[in-house]
């Protein structure tokens, strides 16, 4: 560390060795383009098995690779922790939505894109979370019919619901109200997984990239860490 500081603050005498690192802690500027994002909430609603979790995870990875910060709030995961005291009764579903909406809004306030994957079957409750989040809320309908989701049945839940082992199961023994005015629709029945991921990732970027930072960046040169300069 001390050696590095010395190297940075004092002009080098032997310029032939590592000339860039000796003269400046930075390598020459390099052009680059970085998205400047706004925080927001992308709320994926759809039946169990429609593809919400699949799309949420994949889109978050794409956003990361494009330099954007996001966080997935998956209903199943939340029910193991934050919402583990809640069941599937009407008041519990409402509380499940409310808490998730509040957390998503906090993330959005911190500049993150919160991608929520939650069945969210009732239009009135989706309207409530839109209210909590405000104008940075985007409702995305992950569209697939009960028949398609039941054929997929990735977690065997439709089978259990049909056999009566699961009560109040959305699409089988509890209602699902498809959004009438979704901000975006991803049809997972007629498109491949890859097409759906690309389409949704493009949509999210269009919605939440506020501008592009094209300023030149000075890249720390080899062997000198920015923390060594502080
Ligand atoms: N076009 C598609 N988009 C998303 N998932 C799809 C698509 N086609 C088939 N699938 C499959 O459907 C299943 C959806 O499961 P999951 O993402 O857990 O749904 P959800 O989170 O909505 O309950 C996965 O096994 C996924 O591979
Ligand atoms: Mg899921």
Determine which residue's CA is closest to atom 4 belonging to ligand 1: 51
Going from the Cα of 170 to the center of ligand 1, the distance in angstroms, rounded, reads 16
pLDDT of residue 215: 75
Mean pLDDT of 150-154: 97
pLDDT of residue 21: 40
Q: How far apart are CA 7 and CA 24, in angstroms?
A: 9
Determine which residue's CA is closest to atom 3 belonging to ligand 1: 193
Residues 153 and 63 in one domain: yes
pLDDT of residue 218: 59
- Domain count for the chain: 2
Residues 181 and 204 in one domain: yes
Residues 191 and 126 in one domain: yes
pLDDT of residue 43: 98
Testing ligand 1's pocket by substitution, the residue of 120, 151, 152, 178 carrying the most ligand atoms inside 8 A of its CB is 152
Question: Is the pLDDT assigned to residue 168 strictly greater than 70?
Answer: yes
Residues 138 and 97 in one domain: yes
Mean pLDDT of 92-107: 97
**Proportion of the chain above pLDDT 70, given as a percent:** 80
Check which CATH number belongs to the domain holding 68 and give it. Answer: 3.40.50.300
User: What is the DSSP code string of 145-200?
Assistant: -HHHHHHH-TTSHHHHHHTTSSSS-BTTTB-----SS-SEEEETTTS-HHHHHHHH
Catalytic annotation on 70? no
Residues 114 and 126 in one domain: yes
Look at 6-20, 54-68, 174-188 and tell me which has the smallest mean pLDDT: 6-20
Mean pLDDT of 148-162: 97
Mean pLDDT of 93-116: 97
- pLDDT band at 14, cuts 50/70/90? very low
Q: Which residues contact 148 (CB under 8 A, 6 or more apart)?
A: 49, 188, 189
Q: How far apart are CA 215 and CA 230, in angstroms?
A: 22
Pocket of ligand 1 (CB under 6 A): 46, 48-55, 117, 152, 154, 188, 191-193, 196
- pLDDT band at 221, cuts 50/70/90? low
**Residue 220's domain spans which residues?**
2-32+214-229
Q: How far apart are CA 177 and CA 123, in angstroms?
A: 6
pLDDT of residue 2: 42
- For residues 70 and 60, is the Cβ–Cβ distance under 8 A? yes
Residues 20 and 106 in one domain: no
Q: Which ligand is nearest to the CA of 75?
A: 2
Which of 16, 31, 120, 211 does the annotation list as catalytic?
120
Residues 167 and 106 in one domain: yes
Q: SS3 for 47?
A: coil
- For residues 220 and 25, is the Cβ–Cβ distance under 8 A? yes
- pLDDT band at 35, cuts 50/70/90? confident
Residues 107 and 219 in one domain: no
Instruction: Determine if residue 219 is left, alpha or beta; phi over 0 gives left, psi from -120 to 50 gives alpha, anything else beta.
Output: beta
Going from the Cα of 107 to the center of ligand 1, the distance in angstroms, rounded, reads 25
Residues 117 and 11 in one domain: no
Mean pLDDT of 68-96: 96
Question: Is the pLDDT assigned to residue 17 strictly greater than 90?
Answer: no
Q: What is the per-residue pLDDT across 41-81, written as a single tens digit (0 to 9) for each?
A: 999 999 999 999 999 999 999 999 999 999 999 999 999 99
Residues 17 and 92 in one domain: no
Residues 9 and 107 in one domain: no
Residues 77 and 149 in one domain: yes
pLDDT of residue 36: 85
């Amino acid at each position: 560390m001390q050696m590095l500081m010395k190297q940075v603050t004092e002009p080098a005498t032997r310029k032939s060795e590592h000339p860039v690192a000796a003269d400046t802690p930075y390598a020459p500027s390099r052009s680059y383009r970085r998205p400047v994002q706004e925080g927001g909430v992308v709320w994926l609603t759809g039946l169990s098995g429609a593809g919400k979790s699949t799309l949420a995870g994949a889109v978050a990875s794409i956003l990361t690779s494009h330099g954007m910060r996001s966080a997935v709030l998956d209903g199943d995961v939340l029910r193991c922790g934050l919402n583990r005291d809640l069941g599937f009764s009407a008041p519990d579903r409402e509380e499940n939505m409310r808490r998730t909406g509040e957390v998503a809004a906090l993330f959005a306030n911190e500049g993150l894109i919160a991608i929520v994957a939650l069945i969210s079957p009732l239009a009135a409750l989706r309207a409530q979370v839109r209210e909590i989040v405000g104008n940075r809320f985007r409702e995305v309908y992950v569209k697939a019919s009960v028949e398609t989701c039941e054929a997929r049945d990735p977690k065997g839940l439709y089978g259990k619901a049909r056999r009566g082992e699961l009560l109040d199961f959305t699409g089988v023994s509890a209602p699902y109200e498809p959004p009438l005015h979704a901000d975006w629709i991803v049809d997972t029945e007629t498109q491949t997984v890859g097409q759906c991921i690309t389409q949704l990732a493009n949509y999210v970027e269009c919605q939440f990239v506020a501008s592009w930072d094209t300023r030149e960046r000075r890249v720390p040169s080899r062997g000198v860490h920015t923390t060594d300069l502080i």
